[in-house]
A and B are shown apart, each in its own frame.
Chain A
C-alpha cells in the first residue's frame, strides 16, 4: 500500500522486505525515480519489454511483437533467453529468481509476470 512516498511493509513479510532492501542495493544505479509501490500499467510494461528485446543484438527488431516467443519466433536459444531476462531485471529494477526466470519464454509471459510484480519499477 502506498501512503505518499512511503511504502508500508507488513511485519509478517519479513523475508520479502529483506529481499527488497537487497535488490535496492543491487540496482541502486537504476534508481532515477522515486520508489513506486504499486503495479505498473500492463501496456507500459509491454512497450518497455518490446523495447528491451528489440535492442537485443541477436534478434531481428521487425519480428519483435508483443506476441513473440523467444525461441520459436525470434530464433533465440536458452542462453539468449537468460540474457534477455537479465536485461529485463535491469530495466524494471528488481531481481527475478531462477525458478521464475526459467518460465519466461515469451514476451507475453514476461509482461504478465512483470505487471503482476509489486517491485517492478
Chain B
C-alpha cells in the first residue's frame, strides 16, 4: 500500500514521539508510549480520512507537543479526561 504525503507525516510524527519517549525514564517511557499510541489510534478511528483540515491541525498541534516532550526538562506526559456533555 502506497502512503500519501499526509499519512507519511502522521507516521513520522508518531515515530518522533516514540523516539522522544526513549529518552525518558523507563516507567515514563511506557506511560508515554501508551498515551501516544492510544491517542493516535483513537484519532485514526474517529476522524474521517478526508478531513484534511482537521488532520493538518492535529499534525501541527502534535508537532508542538512533541517539541515540548523533547525538552530534557519534560519528564513525562499526563492526560486529563474530558467529558463531553451532550447539549
In the complex, what residue of chain B is closest to A72 when comparing beta carbons? Answer: B1
Contacts of B1 in A (CB 8 A): 71, 105
* Of the residues A26, A86, A102, contact of B3 by C-beta under 8 Å: A102
> Which residues of the other chain, A, contact B22 by a CB distance below 8 angstroms?
26
Q: Which residue of B lies closest to A86 (CB)?
A: B18
Chain B nearest CB from A100 CB (Å) reads 11
A85, B11: Cα distance in complex, Å: 12
Given contacts A71-B1, A102-B3, contact A78 B15 (CB under 8 A): no
Please name all residues of chain A whose beta carbon is closer than 8 Å to the beta carbon of B44 when the two chains form the complex: 77, 79
Q: Name the residue in B15, B18, B37, B41 with the highest tally of chain A Cβ atoms < 10 Å from its Cβ.
A: B15
Bits for A41-65, please: 1 = Cβ < 8 Å to B, else 0: 0000000000000000000000000
Q: Which residues of B contact A102 (CB under 8 A)?
A: 3, 8, 11
* Cβ-neighbour of B7 out of A78, A83, A98, A105 (below 8 A): A78
Give the docked Cα–Cα distance between A102 and B7 (Å).
10
Interface centre among A79, A86, A102 (most CB of B within 10 A): A79
Interface residues on A, range: 10 to 19
With contacts A98-B8, A98-B15 known, is A78 near B37, CB below 8 A? no
CA gap between A98 and B1 in the complex, in Å? 16
* Contact partners of B15 in chain A: CB under 8 A: 82, 85-86, 98, 101
Q: Which residue of A lies closest to B14 (CB)?
A: A82
A82 to B41, CA, bound (A): 13
Report A-chain residues with C-beta under 8 Å of the C-beta of B41: 79
Q: Is the CB of A78 within 8 A of B18?
A: no
Residues of chain A within 8 A (CB-CB) of B7 are 78
Q: Which residues of B contact A82 (CB under 8 A)?
A: 11, 14-15, 18
7 pairs, A vs B, C-beta closer than 8 Å: A78-B11, A79-B44, A82-B15, A83-B37, A86-B19, A98-B11, A101-B15
A interface residue numbers (CB < 8 A to B): 26, 71, 77-79, 82-83, 85-86, 98, 101-102, 105
